[in-house]
Amino acid sequence: MSRLRFDPGSSTAYRTGDWRRARPIYADRWPPCGAGCPAGEDIQAYLALLQAGREEAAWRKLTEQNPFPAVCGRICPHPCESACNRARVDEAVAIHQVERHLGDLARGRGFAHDRPRAAAAERHVGVVGAGPAGLSCAYQLARVGYRVTIYDAASEPGGTLRWGVPDYRLPKDALLHEVEAILALGVTLRLGVRIGADLSAGELRTRHDAVFTAIGNGLPLVPAEADVTGHGVDSGIAFLRRVNAGERPSLPARVAVIGAGNTAIDVARCARRLGAAEVTIVSPQDRPGHRPGQPAEEMTALPTEIAQAEAEGVRLLLRLGVQRLVRSGEHLDGLQLAYVDHVFDDAGRFRPVLYEGTETFLPADRVIVATGQQPDWSGLDVLQPDPAAGIFAGGDCVGGARTAVAAIGSGHQAAEDVMAYLEGRAPVELGRAATASFDTLHTHYYRRVPRHTSVEADTDERQRDFREVQSGLESVAVAAEAARCLSCGVCMECDNCWHFCPDAAVIKLGPGQRYRFDYEYCKGCGICAAECPTGHIRMEAESGT
Amino acid sequence: MRRQLEGSRAVAEAVRLCRPRVIAAYPITPQTHIVEHLSQMVADGELAAECINTESEFAAASVALGAVAAGARAYTASAAQGLLLMTEVLFNIAGLRLPVVMTCANRAVGAPINIFNDHQDSLSLRDAGWIQLYVESNQEAVDSMIQAYRIAEACELPVMVCMDGFFLTHTFEPVELPEQAQVDAWLPPLRFSRALDPVAPATLGGGSEPDNYLEYRRAQHQALDHAADEIVSTAAAFQSTFGRTHGALIDGYRLDDAERVLITLGSVMGAVRDTVDALRERGERVGALKLRCVRPFPAAGLVHALRGARRVAVLEKAISAGAGGIIAAELRAAMHAAGIALPVDGFVGGLGGRDLTPASIEAVFAASAAAGPAPIGCQFVDVDAADEAARPGE
Amino acid sequence: MDRRDPFRLNALTSGHRACSGCGQAMAARMVGDLIGPDAIFVNATGCLQVFTTHNAQSAWQVPWLHSVFANAAAVASGVEAARRGLPGSERVVVQAGDGGTFDIGLQCLSGMIERGHDALFVCYDNEAYMNTGVQRSGSTPHAARTTTSPPGRLSEGKRHLKKDMLAIVAAHHMPYAATASVAFFPDLKAKVEKAMRLRGPRFLHVFSPCPLGWDHDAAASVQVARLAVETGLFPLVELEYGAVTGVMRLAQRRPVEDYLRLQGRFKHLFKDAHGAAELRHLQALADANIRRYGLLDATTAWDTGEAGRAQRGGRGGYAPAHGAAS
């Protein structure tokens, strides 16, 4: 020391942490994709695993919330992508393609859900309805060791996914595989049992410690105002059920489909595949996105579905309401239509107001009504929801978004509610609001990379049968999509904080272990937070400053 | 081996015998011949060293600093303006306690610019923290150079060997050069404990503050004080191995019963010895004392050596303008501190290469024969009479 | 020794006394760890020396030597000469600020290069004498406020231009001379690694924002550095033997105002017409850089978007911390 020789690193005896007026904190935020997903998938997490090449781990992360990736990857309207922050950088991440890929991969590689390590309880839960809500609920219960029996009146499981969605959108084997993966957890499935008929609801209740009812919307809902019944008129769900049962009914040349949702589109596209030359959808609502600020005035069908239908020759007549069927005796001539002023009244009820004098005639040999569905509660009075009594309901039959993913989320929440009931605790609300908003990101750290799109089958070829229209992405493109994820709010170990810290106060812990702040030395400059691409670091004022 | 060599060549040979690994220099008269000879030796493969021809003396000193800090024996040489351009680095080398060895080919400092000999350059740097040895002859220059490395490396202090420009550097004298094997045995390779080393990554030359700077400087001062013992023991060791001595801190001449003593530095000592002999022939009880080591200042040695003297003259080739002779002032202080009332006459002469002839030296002796207290300040030797008349006391 | 971090040497570690958000500490930490433990560092006087060694404590964990302000390159020459022909693979690195490079250290730097010493000279450029209280240097950009180039009734800040240090260095038949920025770590890493693969004198000019002297938020240091590049005011280029061999294209060109507005040292330029004229001048200087180096049209895959991109798992770390026993 008297010769001006200092020991290496001896400055660490001097703690610069007390200079600090604000401290950085590592804290995950919840990304908007996950918040937008009704099933609450941790999308960021499985995209991250996929980026790391950990495909099976990615599938397991995904299926913590949703056991139907192959299904949802195909048919989900992916609200996750609508919420994706990346849309404001270039285009949303094609999450559904990743989801589909993981679902298909699981099938190809034989991934199986982890069986519970031990039976959680000998409690036995009954689930009414083997649709996505019921299966999701059963899955969540079974994975933690509950006994579950599902009852369904149909001959095969899947509910709307099985009987309402045509093969060209969702091949049956993709659905079946994911259902079987759930059943492989030890879930008992009783098919051909209609509760309220084959087995009384009361009996059901006594057999189980709790009951979850998810019977879906099995009955058509036809607006009372328009008399659209009789010869030549079919119900959309009945039509789809026959087609999905494997029937290939012959159709006349001119088919009119009344409705504005995905069911109407499915009906129309099936009609084209069954030989109808002119298929017209009549809807009082406008195209999605054409009525800014008036979502109720827009069709609920997905834009991509609409586009694919039109590509297949389906014609859309929009902003037109049905006044009456035009018949010659019993023979159906067509529909009398009129232009719509508005569709819903002030109370939000479906009350289309048509302009007098705008009447027009649409010739049709067959009318298929796809204006909505409702649940069939007949014989199920004792299963009206009563959480305090262990009776729960979910899925389409209790309203809501009427999408598969919403049903899956609803089933998951029901499983949580059931478990909380059986364990005598308060249930946890699974939904979480997004906290990783766009303005928490530092987007200059991301390059613009175009979104990968998959191929559609040739429009002429695909109308000849019910083959799948939309292909998946190659695994390279899937990996590239996963890599497009901004990792909103969640550390991606980019090393920025670690590189930039002027004070060696960020300690790297190793791959997957992230970093820690050494507050003994951190001076609180805030560079780490300012340069964190994902907004994972926040600054918090030190107390007393 | 005894050879007739130019002083610069002799010093270069001595440096070669010490096996420096890095030689850094910038040319300045009268230092140039030394570095030219060393460059030729390296070019001829006679000396395995890196010759770094720098863009300034400031850089030359810095290269030597870096080389020693990295564990290599290093050498540099300069004079006058060049030495002063090194000043910042020379202080720094000393503060870092690096055993750099250099030759100062003593030369006057401008303005007016003057390439000839005096001691203004090195004496101006007496406070830089270097050991300063002043040599009388080329043989002493050779021997002191070899001693200098041993002293520097033992004390971790830099050593400046000061030899008179032209009077020594450009003068041919017979010189005895030791054998390489003898020098190798006497001066082992440098083992610098604080050398920069990735295996033991220490920090050298960090900052200091009011609460520790004083202690650093005190330690440096004490190291210089203690270096006196090392200089003495090294001179003795050198003598026992090589059979020659030139004194250690001081070198007295016919002091035994001397009442009047002349103290001087460097090559003029030869003429002083002759003058003493001549005056002794005439019965004057005079002696002389060569101040070989200016730093550390051998105050105790001087007090002891001058215990029999009645009056002392200091003849020096430098001046602290506005104060007078530098060595004279230091000697007066030493005597005063020892409680000895010894009149010390300060003489300044030989500046800018002016010859100090036997007559000049005799005149100094004569002036110091006066009784009563010595005048404060200095008297100039051989000042041009016309100039003195034209501008008395200006 | 401080071994808290298994993934970097922390050649310059905690406990140093740099201001909060110091760009030079950030830069020196990157450079030091990219070079690794097998090197000897010679430092000029300046902020980096002052804030890293204090009160008999050192923040360095590599062999490190400081002599005086002007002579770092010469000291390094001596260190390098001393190591020549010896066993051991350690390299020599010189570190200086802009004062120790552009101004007082220029002569020694020139000598070091001319003599071909195998040493990497790193200039951490914070564009003024910060340690002494923000005085103007030869590197201070035109129109910037410093304590010795104050704006006033007759002044719009520094009257003269920033010295083109890279061109001066490159004119020495220089094997490698490059500019780099803390804002683009992958680029800095590539340049340090390239420099360390080469032999002979090499020069790396690292732009290092100073929150205190430039009067910007401590948290904004990287942003400011990024904008200096994206405006064209500090082009990231490589020169080998005087020829431009590498250019970082600007993925997005930003007006100089974006950069200047973040910093108090340019605040006076936004006050009146005189300031506006200087703003146009600064824009013209940026435009001239863009033309000179082809920053918009260079045919290189390396652009500010690619170099500035973040990536899961990072984009490379530091030299292994071997040879550091204790």
pLDDT, tens digit, 9 for 90 and up, residues A242-271? 999 999 999 999 999 999 999 999 999 999
**A3 vs B194: CB contact, 8 Å cut-off?**
yes
Instruction: State how far the Cα of C62 lies from the Cα of C9, in Å rounded to an integer.
Output: 9
pLDDT-wise least confident of A285-299, A425-439, A476-490, C229-243: A285-299
User: Is residue A396 helix, strand or coil?
Assistant: helix
**B236 and B297: one domain?**
no
- Taking the CA of residue C112 and the nearest CA in chain B, the distance in Å comes to 8
Range(s) of the domain holding residue B350: 250-390
pLDDT of residue A119: 67
The structure tokens listed for A344 are: 């819903």
Q: Give me the residue spans of the domains in chain A.
A: 17-28+491-541, 32-113+433-484, 124-218+375-423, 222-374
pLDDT-wise least confident of A428-432, B66-70, B118-122, C101-105: A428-432
Percent of chain B that is helix, strand, coil (3-state, to 5):
40, 20, 40
Q: Supply the CATH classification number for the domain A17-28+491-541.
A: 3.30.70.20
Instruction: State how far the Cα of C211 lies from the Cα of C221, in Å rounded to an integer.
Output: 7
Closest listed residue to residue A38, CA positions, set A405, A300, A436, A417: A405
Secondary-structure class of domain A222-374 per CATH: alpha beta
Closest CB from A52, A483, A521 relative to C15: A521
Instruction: State how far the Cα of B155 lies from the Cα of B233, in Å rounded to an integer.
Output: 12
Q: Is C301 on the interface with A (CB under 8 A)?
A: no
Assigned domain for B171 exists = yes
Could you tell me which residues of chain B have a Cβ less than 8 Å from any Cβ in chain C? 21-22, 24, 50, 52-56, 58-72, 74, 88-89, 92, 96, 196-209, 211-212
Q: Which residues of C touch A530 (CB under 8 A)?
A: 219-220, 222-223
pLDDT of residue C326: 36
Distance of alpha carbon A444 from the chain centroid: 30
Assigned domain for B9 exists = yes
- Taking the CA of residue A531 and the nearest CA in chain C, the distance in Å comes to 7
- Taking the CA of residue A10 and the nearest CA in chain B, the distance in Å comes to 10
The structure tokens listed for A323 are: 């006044």
Assigned domain for B76 exists = yes
pLDDT, tens digit, 9 for 90 and up, residues C79-89? 999 999 888 88
pLDDT of residue A545: 53
| CATH code for the domain of B329 | 3.40.50.920
Task: Using the predicted structure, report yes or no on whether residue A172 has a pLDDT greater than 80.
Answer: yes
pLDDT, tens digit, 9 for 90 and up, residues A36-47? 999 999 999 999
**C71 vs B203: CB contact, 8 Å cut-off?**
no
**A504 vs C21: CB contact, 8 Å cut-off?**
no
pLDDT, tens digit, 9 for 90 and up, residues A371-404? 888 999 998 989 999 999 999 999 999 987 789 9
pLDDT, mean of residues A489-499: 97
Q: Which residues of A touch B215 (CB under 8 A)?
A: 2
Query: Which segments of A272-330 are extended strands (E)?
Result: 278-283, 315-318, 320-328
The per-residue pLDDT of chain A, averaged, comes to 94
| CATH code for the domain of B23 | 3.40.50.970
**C5 vs A496: CB contact, 8 Å cut-off?**
no
Closest CB from B202, B205, B219 relative to A2: B219
pLDDT of residue C325: 38
pLDDT, mean of residues C189-218: 98
pLDDT, tens digit, 9 for 90 and up, residues C216-240? 999 999 999 999 999 999 999 999 9
Assigned domain for B201 exists = no
CA distances from A523 to A20, A519, A533, C16, C134 (A): 5, 8, 21, 11, 22
Task: Using the predicted structure, report yes or no on whether residue C279 has a pLDDT greater than 80.
Answer: yes
Place of tokens 């024969």: B369
User: Which phi and psi (to 5°) does residue B238 adopt?
Assistant: -65, -45
**B141 and B284: one domain?**
no
**B72 vs C82: CB contact, 8 Å cut-off?**
yes
User: Is residue B90 helix, strand or coil?
Assistant: helix
Closest CB from A8, A11, A510 relative to C14: A11
Residues A129/A154, Cβ–Cβ less than 8 Å: no
Task: Using the predicted structure, report yes or no on whether residue C323 has a pLDDT greater than 50.
Answer: no
Interface of B with A in 137-176 (CB under 8 A): 156
pLDDT of residue A314: 97
Task: Using the predicted structure, report yes or no on whether residue A142 has a pLDDT greater than 90.
Answer: yes
Q: Count up the domains in chain B and report the number.
A: 2
**C75 vs B65: CB contact, 8 Å cut-off?**
yes
Report residues of chain B scoring pLDDT below 50. none
Q: Which residues of A touch C312 (CB under 8 A)?
A: 48, 51-52, 483, 487, 492-494
Domains A17-28+491-541 and A124-218+375-423 share a fold: no
Give just the sign of the alpha carbon dihedral B6, B12, B13, B18. positive
**B353 and B379: one domain?**
yes
Interface of C with A in 2-31 (CB under 8 A): 2, 4-8, 10, 12-18, 20-23, 25-26, 29-30
**B22 and B153: one domain?**
yes
Q: Give me the residue spans of the domains in chain C.
A: 23-307
CA distances from B74 to A519, B52, C82 (A): 46, 11, 9
Q: Which residues of C touch A500 (CB under 8 A)?
A: 26, 182, 222
Closest residue of chain B to A2, computed from CA coordinates: B216
Task: Using the predicted structure, report yes or no on whether residue A226 has a pLDDT greater than 70.
Answer: no
Chains near C with 3+ CB pairs less than 8 A apart are A, B
Distance of alpha carbon C48 from the chain centroid: 12
Secondary-structure class of domain C23-307 per CATH: alpha beta
The structure tokens listed for C120 are: 């990497």
pLDDT of residue B229: 98
Q: Which residues of A touch B216 (CB under 8 A)?
A: 2, 4
Category of C212 on φ-ψ map: left (φ > 0), alpha (ψ -120 to 50) or beta? alpha
The ipTM estimated for the assembled molecules is 0.97
Rounded to 5°, the CA angle C253-C255-C256 comes to 120
DSSP letters for C70-90: TTHHHHHHHHHHHHTTSS---
**A2 vs B215: CB contact, 8 Å cut-off?**
yes
pLDDT of residue A3: 75
pLDDT, mean of residues A124-128: 97
Chain pair A-C, CB pairs under 8 angstroms: 160
**C312 vs A523: CB contact, 8 Å cut-off?**
no
Closest listed residue to residue A504, CA positions, set A486, A525, A475, A533: A525
CATH architecture of A32-113+433-484: Orthogonal Bundle (1.10)
First to last CA, chain A: 38
Instruction: State how far the Cα of B77 lies from the Cα of B30, in Å rounded to an integer.
Output: 10
Q: How many residues does chain C have?
A: 326
Closest listed residue to residue A101, CA positions, set A40, A42, A56: A56
Give the residues across from A368 on adjacent strands.
A234, A257
Instruction: State how far the Cα of A506 lies from the Cα of A522, in Å rounded to an integer.
Output: 8
Secondary-structure class of domain A124-218+375-423 per CATH: alpha beta
Instruction: State how far the Cα of A373 lies from the Cα of A218, in Å rounded to an integer.
Output: 6
Residues C130-134: contacts with CB under 8 Å, at least 24 apart: C130/C47, C130/C97, C130/C210, C130/C212, C130/C213, C131/C45, C131/C46, C131/C47, C131/C50, C131/C97, C134/C212, C134/C213
Residues A235/A259, Cβ–Cβ less than 8 Å: no
CA distances from A123 to A390, A419, C196 (A): 12, 10, 68
pLDDT of residue B393: 62
